[in-house]
Amino acid sequence: MNPFLLFIQQLVNGLRVGSIYALVALGYTMVYGIIRLINFAHGDFIMVGGYTLAFTVPLMVAAGMPAWLAVVAAIITCAITGILVEKLAYSPVRRRGNRMSSLITAIAMSLLLENGAQVLFGANPRGVGTLFTLPNIGVFSGTTLLTIVLGALVMIALQLFVNKTKMGRGMRAVSEDKEAATLMGVHVNRTIAITFAVGSALAAVASLMYCAQYNQVTTTMGSMLGLKAFVAAVLGGIGVVPGAMLGGILIGVVESLSKAYIGTLTGGVITSAFSDAIVFAILIVVLLVKPAGILGSNAGEKV
Amino acid sequence: MKKFVSLALAGSLLVSLVGCGASSSAAPASAASGASSAASTSAEISLGVTAPLTGSLATYGESVQKGVTLAVDEINAAGGILDKQVKVTFEDDKGDSTEGANSFNKLVSEGVCAIIGSVTSGVTSGLATLTDENGMLLITPSGTADTLTEGHPSVFRACFNDSYQGSIAAEFAAKDLGAKKVAILYASSDPYSAGIAASFEAACKTYGLDVVAKESSSSMTDTDYSAQLTNIIAAGPDVIFAPYYYDTVGPYIVPQTRAAGYTGVLLGADGWDGTTDTMVDDKSLYNNTYFINHYAADNPSEEVQNFVTSFNAAYGSTPNAIAAMSYDAVYMIKTAIEKAGTDTTADIVTAMTGMEFSGVTGSFKLNDLNTPEKPAVVMEYVDGNLVFKASVGGNG
Amino acid sequence: MMKLKKDSQKGTLLNFVGIAVLFAALLVFQQSSFASPYMRGILIQCCYVIIMVTSLNIPNGFMGQFSLGHVGFMAVGAYTSALVTKALVQVGVPYTGLPGYAMFLVAVLVGALMAGLFGLMVSVPALRLRGDYLAIITLGFGEIIRVIIQNIPIAGGKGLAEGQAGQPLIGIKNFSNMYVIVGLTIACVALMYAFVRSKYGRAIKAIRDDEIASEAAGINTTYYKVLAFTVSAFFAGVAGAIFAHRGLGTLQTSDFTFVKSTEYVLMVVLGGMGSLTGSIISAVVLSILPEVLRAFAQYRMLIYAFLLVLMMLFRPIGLCGTWEFSLLDTLRGIRGHKPKKPQAPAGVKREEVSEDV
C-alpha cells in the first residue's frame, strides 16, 4: 500500500476512535463547566448505558423494533443515575464539604458504580449485538461517519441549548457565580440537576456509538475511556462545548498516528505500546502550557 | 445526626478490628491441626486451591473450581485416595500476587498436602518463590510462563509452557498453513502475551518464517487495534499471530482485522479458548482463525468424552481447557499419592517428579522442568463453532 | 516554654519505651504459635501499606494537594531496589544474616532516593496546578511511569542483563526479615511525624489552610510544596522497596495501577486527612479486614466506596481528622490529667462553593 494511502487510513482510524472520545468529552465538559468538578463517574455512566443497551437490545429485536431504539432506555437509565448520584452524593457533599471532598466523592462514586456492576453482572464481558447495519462510504465505515455526524449534531444542539434557552442561560450563570445566580432568581440546585441529567443522557448516546463500534460491554469499560475523554475535554478547553468535540477528534487522531508511526520515528525506542502514556503526556503538556485548552480563554486565578 | 453517623462509622471500624483479633486467635488452632495432617495421620487428604474466584479474572477461577470439584467428587465417590476421602479448600486470590501469597500461606497453615493454583503466571511466580521455604507442592493448571518451574523443584504444571506454545504456533503456520510471511500483534505489558510473542518470533527463524510486522498494544484490554492492524495488513502477511485473551479476540481483534480488509489466517494461543462466548453476531468473520490449545472437547477418545459428559451433567456446559487441566491436576496429585503410598507433601513431590500420567489433556511424562511433554492441539473456528484441526508437536 | 520542652523530652522517652514494648510484643509473637507464614505475610503487608498511606497523607492530607499517582513512586522504589539487590547478588555479596540486612537497607535507600528524584521531577511541573487538575496530572504521571517500566527490558524477567520487557521481574532475593521491616516502618513513621511537626510541616499545613495567605505571609509555597511532595515520594519509594522484598520474589506492573492508587487514597481519606495516626489505623484495619472477611471479597471495594461516600457526607475530614495519638497524653488521661486539647480540625474549613481552579 502506498504511504500516503496508509496515512489516510490511519487518519480514518483516528477519527473512528476520536469520534467516540468526542461524544464522551461533551458530557464531561457539560458537568465540569457548571460545577467545576471532574466527574470521575462519567465514564461509568457510559458503562451503565452500555449494560442497559446489552439488556434491552434483545428485547427490542424480539419486539421487531430497530435495535438502536434501545438507546431510549439507556438515556432514561443514565439520566436517572446521573440525577441520583448528584442528589444523593455530590450535592450534599458540595454543600458542606470543600473541593477535595467533592473530588473524593466523585472517585468513590466511580468505584461504587464499577464494583456494583461487577457484583451485579459479573466480570465476564457481555455482547451487545448488532446495532446498525450501515454501508461503508469510501474509506469510512458507516458507524464512524454516523458517530461523527451524531457528535456534531449533539454539539450544535448543546451549543444552542446553552446559549439560546433560558435554562442554558441559567447554567451559564451558575457556572459564573452561584451566589449571584441565586440572587438573579436562578434555581441553582435544579439547574445543576438538569445539567447532570443532560450530561448523563449524552453518556447514553456515547455508549450507543461505543457499542456499535466495539460490540461488547465490560464493567471497567468506562475508566480508561473516561480518562481519555477527560484529556480530550481539557485539550479542547474544558467547559467549551465545541472544544470537547475538537479535543476528542484530536486525541483520537494523535493516538492512532502515534500507534502507527512512533515506532519507526523513534527507531523502536518508543513503541505503539506507549499510546496511553502519550495521551497522558499530551494532557501534561496542555495543562502546563495552556491550561485553558485550545478553545478556552485563559482566566486569571481567582483569589 | 452527623455525630451519630460518625460514631457509627467509628464503631464499625472498631468492630472490624475486634473481629481481626478474634480470627487471629482462631488461626493457630487450625495451624496445629494442619501440622498433624501433613504427617499423614488424618482421616482425609486435604487439598488447597488458590484461584481468582472474584475480580476481573473470575471466569478462569470458576473454570478451575468446576474442574477441581468434579474430579474430587468423582474420586470421593470411587472411594477416595488410599482409602481416604479428599477434602478441598478454595481460596480467592483475585488474580493479585499479594492476595495470592495470603491465600497460599493460609492454605499451608491449614495443613493441606498440595496446592493447585494459580491461574495466571504472574500470581503463580510469587507462589513458586514461597514453595522454596516450605517445599509445598504447587501445581498450576494454566501458568504457562517458562520460568515458573525453573529452580523450584516442588512446582509443577498441567499445561505446556509459553516457549513450546510459541514454537508450535510457528510450526503450524509454516508446515500446515504453508505461510511464508507472518505478522505479530501482542500486548507488550502483559507477561502472557509478550512471552508467547517472543517465543513465536524466535521459532519463526527455525521454521524459515519472515516476520514482516510486529506491533504492540499497551494492554490486553485495549479496545481499538485498527492503527496497529492497518500497519500489519500493509505489510502483507500470510498469517497474523495475536496472542490475546478471548475477551479481546472475540469482539475486537477478529472483527477489526476483518473490517480492515484482511481475509487471511489469524492465529492465536490458548488464551483464545472461550472466544465462542464473546463473538459478534456475524460468525463468518471468525472463519480462517486457528489457535493452539491444550485439549479438544471433540476429541473422540473415551476418556475425554466421559469427562465432557459428566462435566456437562454437572454444570450444563462444555469444559474449557482450564477446567480440563484443573481436572487433570487433581488426578495428577492422586496418581502421585498412590505412587508414593502416602500423603506427605515431600513424598508426593518425589513421586510426581518425572511422573507419567494419562488424563483428558493427553498422556505425557513430566520433563526436567516439571512440565508435561505432550502434543498440542490446534483448534479452528468454523462459523462460530470450535473444531479440532490438528495435533502438533510433542512426542506423540 | 520550659514546660513544653520538658514535655517533649518526656514524650520522646515514652515513645522509645513504646517502641521497645512493640518490639517485645513482636518477639513474643514470633515465638508464639501465631507466627505462621500467613500471619507474617499479613504483618509485612501492614508495614508497607502503613508507610505508603502515611507518605500519601503528606501531600493529600497535610498539604491539601491531591495526588492520585503515588503508586508510580512506589513502583520506582520497588523496581530500583529490586534491581539493586539483584545486582548485589550478581556481584556475589552475601545475602544472609547481618550483611544481608545492610544490603537490604542500602537497596531501600537507593530505591527511595530514586523515587524521591522522580517525585521532584514530577512535582516541579505538576504543582503549578491545583485541585482536580493536580489529581489528574499526577494520575497521568503515575500511568506514564508504569508504562515506561513495563517497556524497559532490564526491569522484566530475570532482570538486568538477562531482562525481558513485559515480564514480571522474578527471582528477587529476600534480604530482610520481619524485625528489619517493622523497625524500618517505625523509623519511617517517626521521620514523617517529625517532618509534619517541624517548621516545614507547619508551612505545609498553612498552605493547605490558605495558599494565597501563606504566600502573602512570606512562605515560599512552591518550595514547600515541592519539598513535601518529594519527601512523600521518597517514603512511597521505601514502601515500594519493602513491597519488592516481601518474600514473593516477584514484581509486576499490574501491582501499580491507578486502581491501587485509589485504594491508598481511600485509606488516607478514611483514616483522616492530616492524621498519621489515622493513616496507620486505616492501613492496618483495611489490610487485615479483607483477610478476615474473605467470604465477602466480592463486595470489598463496593463497601469501601460506600464507606467513602458516607465519610464525605458526614465526616469529610476522615475518622481521626487531624488528631494524633500521643502516649504522653494517653497516660495523662489515664492518670486523670486533662489531656492537651486536640487541635481544631483544619480540614473542615468550609469553602462555600469552589470556583477557583
Tens-digit pLDDT profile for residues C248-290: 889 988 889 888 998 999 999 999 988 999 999 999 999 988 8
- What are the helix (H) ranges across chain C? 2-31, 37-57, 70-90, 97-126, 131-151, 178-197, 199-209, 211-216, 221-244, 258-271, 276-292, 300-314, 327-335
Q: Where are the beta strands (DSSP E) in A208-263?
A: 216-217
The three cell numbers of residue B259 are 473490517
A204-226: average pLDDT? 91
CA-to-CA distance for B383 and B284, rounded, in angstroms? 5
Chain B contact present for A58, CB below 8 A: no
CB contact under 8 A, B215 and A263: yes
Residues of B numbered 269-328 whose beta carbons fall under 8 angstroms of chain C's beta carbons: which are they? none
For residue A113, give the C-alpha cell.
Answer: 458504580
Q: How much is the pLDDT for C339? A: 47
Q: Say yes or no to pLDDT of B63 above 60.
A: yes
Let me know if residue A264 belongs to a domain: yes
Taking alpha carbons only, the member of B143, B192, B189, B135 closest to residue B352 is: B135
Q: Is A262 part of a structural domain of the chain?
A: yes
Which structural domain range is residue A82 located in? 3-289
Q: Which chain A residues touch B57 with a CB distance below 8 Å?
A: 123
Cβ contact (<8 Å) for A13 and B57? no
- Of residues C110 and A9, more confidently modeled: C110
Q: Which residues pair with B114 in a beta bridge?
A: B47
Q: With a cut of 50, say whether residue B24 has pLDDT above it.
A: no
Q: Is B363 helix (H, G, I), strand (E, B) or coil?
A: strand
Higher pLDDT, A260 or B35: A260
Cell 512446582 belongs to: B155
Nearest CA in chain A to B57: A123
Residue A300, in any domain of the structure: no
> Is A270 contained in some domain?
yes
pLDDT in tens, B337-368: 999 999 899 999 999 999 999 999 988 999 99
> How much is the pLDDT for B394?
62
Which cell is C333 given? 488521661
Task: Report the CATH number that the domain containing residue A232 is assigned in CATH.
Answer: 1.10.3470
Is B50 in contact with B115 (CB distance < 8 Å)? Answer: yes
Q: Tell me, yes or no, whether A296 lies in a domain.
A: no
Residue C57 to residue C145: CA distance in whole angstroms: 21
Mean pLDDT confidence for B186-208: 91
Chains with 3+ CB–CB pairs under 8 A to B are A, C
Give the model's pLDDT for residue A292: 83
> Does the beta-carbon distance from B228 to A272 stay under 8 Å?
yes
Please give the pLDDT value at position C338: 54
Does C140 reach chain B within 8 Å, measured CB to CB? no
Q: Answer whether residue A8 is part of any domain.
A: yes
Q: With cut-offs at 50, 70 and 90, classify the pLDDT of residue A201.
A: very high
Cβ-based contacts of A262 with chain B (< 8 Å)? none
What lies within 8 Å, CB to CB, of B76 at 6+ separation is: B85, B86
* pLDDT value of residue B31: 39
Q: Is the pLDDT reported for residue A171 higher than 60?
A: yes
Question: What does the pLDDT read at residue B299?
Answer: 85
The whole-angstrom distance between B302's CA and the closest CA on chain C is: 38
pLDDT the model gives residue C57: 95
Contacts of C112 (CB under 8 A, 6+ apart): C77, C81, C234, C235, C237, C238, C241
Phi, psi for C158 (deg, rounded to 5): -80, -5
In chain C, whose CA is at the least distance from the CA of B111?
A: C36
Range name among A163-167, A242-246, A260-264, B67-71 with the lowest pLDDT average: A260-264
Provide the pLDDT for residue B27: 37
d(CA C245, CA C79): 10
A302 within domain boundaries: no
The CA–CA distances, whole Å, from C80 to C77, C155, C174, C238 equal 5, 9, 15, 11
Task: Flag residues of chain C having pLDDT under 50.
Answer: 1, 339-357
Give the pLDDT score at A299: 52
SS3 B118: coil
Cα–Cα nearest to A221, from A79, A119, A126: A126
Query: How far is B320 from chain C, CA to nearest CA, in Å?
Result: 24
Instruction: Quote the minimal CA–CA distance from A181 to chain C in Å.
Output: 13
Chain position carrying cell 516481601: C246
Percent of chain A residues past pLDDT 90, beyond the cut: 35
Share of chain B above pLDDT 70, in %: 89
User: Bridge partners of B385?
Assistant: B382
CA distance A96 to chain C (A): 7
Cα-Cα-Cα-Cα torsion C307, C313, C319, C323, nearest 10 degrees, comes to: 160
Kindly report the nearest CA distance between residue A15 and chain C, in angstroms: 23
Ordered by where they begin, the domains of chain B are: 31-160+302-360 (3.40.50.2300), 163-293+377-392 (3.40.50.2300)
Count of domains observed in chain A: 1
In a domain, A295, yes or no: no
Does A281 contact chain C (CB < 8 Å)? yes
